[in-house]
Structure 1
Amino acid sequence: MSHLPSAIRHPRRTLRPRHLGWAALAYAGVVLAGAFLGAEITLRSKTRRVKGVIVPVGRRGNSVFLPASAETLSRGPIGIVPLLPNKGHAVLGERKVVGTLVRREVTGERGVLPNGALAWASTFVYNGTPAQLGVAFEHTAVRTPLGDMPAWHIPPSGDAPGRADTLVIVIHGHGGQRAQALRMLPALQRTGTGSLFVTFRNAHGAPASPQGYLTLGDQEAEDVLAALHWAQDAGYKRAVLYGFSMGGNIALSVLRQKHRPYPLPILGVMLDCPALDWRDTIRSQGVRVGIPAFMARHVARFVERIVTRRSGQDFDTVDQIAAAPTFDVPMILWHGTRDRTIPVGQADRLAAARPDLIEYHRVEGGKHIRVWNIDPEQYDAQLETFIARVVPEVEG
């Protein structure tokens, strides 16, 4: 073998450094590409429609048959809205697999859900306005320096007049829509409070900031403070904040000292699958899309650097777990163990940091901002009990 070239006789000696160099270059390219994509999603995310799937509907009496999918197979109730024509809405009960189809019974219906319709189906149940539930409301706007933020105002129902002076401000999440929280509106009405479903800067339908970048809860808190001023002008005397996902971070950002005194007293905060630690969230999202854990850590670090360089984002400012010692408002917290968007460990850490303030419900099997679907009656009861506890009834 002595006549063979040395590169063949000793391949590792000559090829290994070259291979390592190319591997390192490829690794860096993947990390940077992932980081730039992750930064863009972090900074800009808004959608026009509530998430769901389009499915053909088979109906026989009160039974609805749907093709099997992650959405139609989800636990708990789902909503369904025919597309052509859009004249109805139905709430469907628990799933039952029948061959290759999913059967669900109609538990509530407005309008007509015909056999053969092509329809939107979703675990968010509703995709319209409060009118989809038959609830009276008014379109309004919260005035901010950036412009008017669209909102829905649902006046107190009168069922519990002792809390008619209280407004629950409902805050959607990153890339979310107000309709995602309509599932909880009946429970909110039973508390006797008013509700204001708000939007914030850079969300769909709302004014944009000069750069058009989200700040993950920091500057968006100013839009919720503007909603508190709106409530004051509307005659409300007290408020409760109710945040979903990033909306939870916004609600907690409102509690920072720099925003005090508030236009109205904030008596409680309700958090549904809140984003509490954005560094952890970005890292976990990398793993979710299939990036190996060791690489996801590197991608997350670069995402943070890119986001900070482009927008000036201070990730420490929106680290609500680190801020836990400063909180002084009672809270109720729901988080699902199957949440693949915001790891449940974040909620575990916040609850452990402030057991004196936080009533924590760790929902087995709950997905991101879908813990209500696991047991709607229990969730609603917890919500109503919390508001009854933190908002004392007043006479007259």
Structure 2
Amino acid sequence: MPRTPSLLSRLRAVPPRRLAGWAALGYAAAILAGALVGAEITLRSKTRRIKGEFVPVGRRGGDVYLPATPETLSRGVIGIVPLRPSRGHALLGPPQLLGTLVRRRILEERGVVPNGSVAWASTFVYNGTPAQLGLPFQNFKVPTAVGEMPAWHVPPVGGERDAVAIVIHGHGGQRAQALRMLPALRRSGVGSVFVTFRNAYGAPRVGQGFHSLGDQEAEDVLAALEWAARAGYRRAVLYGFSMGGNIALCAAQRPERAALPLAGVLLDCPVLDWRDVIRANGQRFGIPGFMAAHIGRFVEWLVTRRSGQDFDLVDQLRASPRFTLPVMLWHGTRDRTVPVGQADALAAARPDLVEYRRVEGAKHIRCWNLDPGGYDAQLETFIRRVLPGVQVQGEPHA
């Protein structure tokens, strides 16, 4: 009976030129597939839920016991919210692994987190509104040229509307991701406006729903400044997370359009160079560096062709010589979404303006979690410096 040739022997029989052609075709197909996915992710983001996990909660006194998962094992502070949020909410301290369980100490608690409950656990700590912190707030919409953007207004403790922080979430993010920093903002004496921008979840869809990666979204931040001016505020700072940091910097470069004088910009793991982010995220998923570079260039071409995006307009490292406002910058060394090298480059380029905190071991927009007290102190000190005379409420962090 004749023996069937092996696959290897069949491949050896194929002319080398044909094999090279197949390899090139396969590589091109992989590049195309990666670029199509990458362009779609870059252009759109409408995440409905704050990142976290649902887990059963065991409780003994001031300790809770959670199953060991990537989220419950995260370094630093996390939050848990029972499925019935009215029953409680807690901030939990650093993890201690006990076999298949994680023990965390309760640092703060509102209401009661009951033993045996099922809860949402997350490094973003909160998943609701400022009411989850027991704070008064106004749920309103910012009028813009393309529709009304959902927003929260948290007035200053003392009632005097002197200064306001415009808080801007990131790509695929939501306003609740920044609630961790709200107590520090309150202590600093400023009011807060948490804004949503076009084509994000809950906001108006514009055109085909594509993001402009900071350029057009900055118009929604300028509209929020107009609202704040009408509400009686006299000056402002911008506070952006991830892509929100790029939006903040785009808005800060249009001072003639700002309804309020801008005193400074706070940036948490900001996207400063989108080309670099696209390449890095390709490598994050195991794509070799040379292939990620090819995919990145093709993603840039596809995004530009589909949306008209000008990547130079949102290249904040290139724009840094034009910056005029003081900047408070945090970035984590374990950030796999936005490479920390971007923050390093900005701090090196503008040491005259940038106060930089490079947080060892912190993941993307998780710098606060590793050292809440230190982060809050840096935030409050920066606001006191750029907004002299603001009425500090309570005891500020040292």
Same fold (TM over 0.5): yes
Q: TM-score range by the shorter chain?
A: over 0.9
Distance 1:72 1:114 in 2: 18
Question: Which contiguous aligned blocks of 4+ residues in structure 1 show a shift greater than 2 angstroms?
Answer: 8-15, 84-87
CA distance in 2, matches of 1:60, 1:281: 43
C-alpha separation in 2, matches of 1:104 and 1:54: 16
The alignment partner of 1:356 has SS state of coil
The structural deviation recorded for 1:15 is 2.4
User: Is 2:212 the counterpart of 1:215?
Assistant: yes
Where do 1:170-319 residues align within 5 Å?
A: 170-257=167-254, 260-319=256-315
Partner of 1:390: 386
What per-residue deviation string (whole Å, max 9, x for no partner) do you get for residues 326-356 of structure 1? Answer: 0000010000000000000000001111000
Amino acid at match of 2:141: A
1:276/1:10 CA distance change after superposition, 3 Å: closer
**Which segment drifts farther, 82-91 or 53-62?**
82-91
Q: 1:84: how far off?
A: 4.8
- CA deviation map 1:142-164 (0-9, x unaligned): 100111101100001129x6xx4
Deviations 1:58-85 (A, max 9, x none): 1112210011111111111110011157
Instruction: Report the CA distance shift for 1:127/1:12 in structure 2 as closer, same or farther (over 3 A).
Output: same
TM-score (norm 1): 0.94
What is the identity, as a one-letter code, of the residue corresponding to 1:273? C
Contact 1:84 1:117 in 2 (8 A): no
- The percentage of counterpart residues that share the same residue type is 68
Alignment of 1:330 onto 2:326: yes
SS in 2 for 1:386: helix
The equivalent residue for 1:94 is 94
Q: Which amino acid aligns with 1:338?
A: R
Structure 1 unmatched ranges of 5 or more? 1-7
Q: Which among 339, 343, 355 is matched to residue 351 of structure 2?
A: 355
Note the C-alpha offset of 1:9. Answer: 11
Structure 2: how far apart are the matches of 1:85 and 1:111?
9
Report the Cα offset of residue 100 of structure 1: 1.6
Shift of 1:261: 4.0
Residues 167 and 240 in structure 2, CA contact (< 8 A), matched pair in contact too: yes
Give the 5 Å matches for 1:109-188: 109-158=109-158, 164-188=161-185
Q: Distance in 2 between matches of 1:252 and 1:137?
A: 26
Q: Which residue of 2 aligns with 1:365?
A: 361
CA RMSD between the two structures: 1.8
Q: Distance in 2 between matches of 1:23 and 1:130?
A: 55
Does the 8 A contact of 2:138 with 2:153 survive in 1? Answer: yes
| Residues 1:260 and 1:104: Cα distance change in structure 2 (over 3 Å) | same
Tell me the CA shift for residue 16 of structure 1: 1.4
Structure 2 distance, partners of 1:181, 1:155, is: 16
- Greater mean deviation of Cα atoms: 97-106 or 299-308: 97-106
Map of 1:32 onto structure 2: 32
Structure 2 residue ranges without an equivalent (≥5): 1-7, 392-398
Distance 1:218 1:367 in 2: 26
Q: Secondary structure at the match of 2:109?
A: strand
